[in-house]
Structure 1
Amino acid sequence: MRLSNLADYAVVVMSAAARHCGSARISAAELAQETGLPAPTVQKLVSRLVSAGLLRSLRGAKGGLQLARPAAAITLVDIVEAVEGPIALTACVESGTATGGKRDCGMEDSCAVRPHWPMVNAVMRDALAGIPLTRLADLQAPAIEARSHGGSPARMEMTR
């Protein structure tokens, strides 16, 4: 599984916003400069993150962006779903298909595994929900490395 670049960038932007203590206000331009992301990309993400209720946009002389709730109350799943939509590892589990009713799998009606995908999706969602933004924004936090059988770091990648 692989996160899209946009979801990855959303995590970067939210982590940067969280490092400003949540109550401090920062502009999208400052977030772009701090993260090294292109300003149009940050603006697009800010729009989605505000719509999802993760960031608050304040106007005026003391305006800017700030976390809409405490960093400890925002999780990785909140950020990913703000950009990607609900966690769904296979298209057949989504209500209605992204292809407008066209089926992507010829086995969809007779698949014995299909009934189990909602449980798998829930486990994945719960795992991401267990990672608070405070953890992601903590530069001093020790890295947690999952190791595959071969001894090299395992990668979790999400695609839609």
Structure 2
Amino acid sequence: MLRMSKLTDYGTVVMTFLARESDRLHAASEIAGQIQVAAPTVSKILKILAREGLVVSHRGAKGGYSLARPAREISMVEIIDALEGPVGLTECGSSPGLCEQESSCSVRGNWQRINVAVRQALAGVTLAEMAQPTYVVRPPARPARAGAL
């Protein structure tokens, strides 16, 4: 199963909150309360996002966090890369040279092609789009396997 970490999942929720509430600065504790994620986790996420240039930390009594640029200019691939590192479905997909089988792998090129498609799909979705309410897409039911009860 391909899945991003819980920290990245929460990071997208933090960024979406900031996109929806971009008219003012927000303290980490406020964000944590609004999205119902532990304050230390939100603080950790915000520090990473600030280091990666996606949010700005404003110091002082009326300080807080804001997006570094408009939500329409931030893609989902940027957020995921900031929190996870480069998106890669296989080791050779994001960082060539990590797999011992790389030189003789018959599927490497295809995995890299798939990885490019996934990155392009994520790059094509902006934070502004993520901040818009939408309906829940439910995956189709999986057919029962033969002989299963």
Q: Deviations over 1:124-148 (max 9, x none)?
A: 011011111112112xx33263744
Look up the SS of the partner of 1:80 in the other structure: helix
What is the identity, as a one-letter code, of the residue corresponding to 1:74?
A: I
- Note the aligned Cα RMSD (angstroms): 1.9
- Name the % identity: 41
The structure-2 alpha-carbon separation of the partners of 1:146 and 1:119, relative to structure 1 and needing over 3 Å to count, comes to farther
What is the identity, as a one-letter code, of the residue corresponding to 2:81?
A: E
Which has the higher relative contact order, 1 or 2, with Cα contacts under 8 A spaced 6 or more apart?
1
Q: Deviations over 1:21-48 (max 9, x none)?
A: x241000111111111011111110011
- 1:40 and 2:35 aligned: no
Structure whose residues are more often helix by fraction: 2
- Does structure 1 retain, via aligned residues, the 8 Å contact 2:28–2:65? yes
Specify every segment of 5 or more residues in structure 1 that has no aligned partner in the other structure, as ranges.
98-102, 152-160
- Does structure 2 retain, via aligned residues, the 8 Å contact 1:16–1:31? yes
What is the identity, as a one-letter code, of the residue corresponding to 2:135?
A: A
Look up the SS of the partner of 1:89 in the other structure: coil
**Cα separation, 2, equivalents of 1:145 and 1:71:** 23
Counterpart position of 2:50? 50
- Does structure 2 retain, via aligned residues, the 8 Å contact 1:23–1:67? no
- Does structure 1 retain, via aligned residues, the 8 Å contact 2:49–2:82? yes
**Cα separation, 2, equivalents of 1:23 and 1:71:** 12
Look up the SS of the partner of 1:24 in the other structure: coil
Normalised by the size of structure 2, how large is the TM-score? 0.85
What is the identity, as a one-letter code, of the residue corresponding to 1:130?
A: G
Corresponding pairs, count: 141
